[in-house]
Homo-oligomer: A and B are copies of this chain.
Amino acid sequence: MINNSYYSQEVHGPYALHNIGNLELEEGGTIRECNLAYATFGKLNTAKDNAILIPTWYSGTNKIMEQVYIGQGRALDPDQYFIIVINQIGNGLSSSPHNTPPPGGMANFPHVRIGDDVRAQHKLVTEKFGLSSLALVVGGSMGAQQTYEWAVRYPDMVKRAAPIAGTAKNTVHDFLFTETLVDAMTSDPGFKGGWYASCADVREGLLRHAKMWAVMGWSTEFFQQHRHKTLGFSSMEDFIVNFMNGYFSVMDPNDLLCMAWKWQRGDVSRHTGGDLRAALSRIKAQPFVMPLSTDMFFPPADCQAEWRLIPDAEFHPIETIDGHLALFGADPNALAQLDKHLKDLLAAKV
């Protein structure tokens, strides 16, 4: 275990922990006494049909979802809905390599799949809240991967699905991009195969990882139009040091690697022997597929190709120059488009 004050109630709270017991994983491992960290907003109605589930993205927690996406008057309005944000396994708040006691933690933490997360989340929302339907599952990036998994795995439970900037089956290009993120950290001699004494030992690897996120996470237009300066950074160097690296350098490398491994292998067609069309045909939810127009690794064309395989899905690309990291919410216009589509989706009869 590694003591890391970043993963705390002070930074990401309030959140609750729910122990779902031992979670046997698709790849054969087991997470013992698996904890899911979650936060709720609003109240569950008596019909129990106003629940919205939000899974988190790579590096994300319940806190950013709350700050950027949830609010009175917004589509995800706690006055109308019971909103549950569940932190994905490995994100540092739920069971993760850094917070799992020996011998199962650190580099010994088992491989987790998107499907494992969704089964764990299903256990939480059924056992803890007695839910039998979800009015909406919505998530960005790895949250979109989980959204697709939810809609395919539990088609009768998910009424609406909004995968934002993510795919149902990861592409080989995206897999490779993520591999360069993995390499950035694991190649640091201080990583020591995952048995570092402190995240600071992997400082150089985390910095390289942050730089690669800066290359692929935003867009060339973002920098051409000096958006990084608009956001308060005097130069690219300042942006790298004080934003990108500031953001990632406090995180645990093994936690990031747990999520990266999962991200690389997101694939709902595992349910149907590799037939993606057959898997997506299982979806009974009303889906809105929403890529971000300048996304460099979950590009609109890849999301559109999947959208064509989903019966009655709607395709609503979001115009933005913030690339994939428009998810961070710095482009109010992108958020306005997302809110409008989510409101339309929530208003849709299903």
A220 adjacent to B296 (CB under 8 Å): yes
Q: Does any Cβ of B come within 8 Å of A313's Cβ? A: no
A:192-237 near B, CB below 8 Å: 204, 208, 211-212, 214-216, 220-224, 228, 235-236
* Identical chains bound together, number: 2
Chain A's interface: helix, strand, loop or mixed, by majority?
helix
Compute how far the CA of A220 lies from the CA of B173 in the bound complex, rounded to whole angstroms: 6
Q: Does any Cβ of B come within 8 Å of A177's Cβ? A: yes
Nearest Cβ distance between residue A120 and chain B, in whole angstroms?
30
Among the stretches A68-76, A179-187, A272-280, the one at the interface with B is: A179-187
Q: Does any Cβ of B come within 8 Å of A302's Cβ? A: yes
Number of interface residues, chain A, beta carbon within 8 A: 35
Q: Does any Cβ of B come within 8 Å of A297's Cβ? A: yes
B173 adjacent to A211 (CB under 8 Å): no
B179 adjacent to A297 (CB under 8 Å): no
Compute how far the CA of A224 lies from the CA of B211 in the bound complex, rounded to whole angstroms: 25
In the complex where A220-B302, A297-B220, A301-B221 touch, is A176 in contact with B208 (Cβ < 8 A)?
A: no
B301 adjacent to A212 (CB under 8 Å): no
Contact among B187, B204, B214, B216 with A215 in the assembled complex (CB-CB below 8 Å): B216
Residue-wise, chain A 225-255 has the 8 Å CB interface mask toward B (1 for contact) of 0001000000110001000000000000000
10 closest A-B pairs (Cβ-Cβ)?
A172-B236, A173-B223, A220-B299, A177-B215, A173-B220, A183-B208, A172-B223, A180-B211, A180-B212, A176-B215
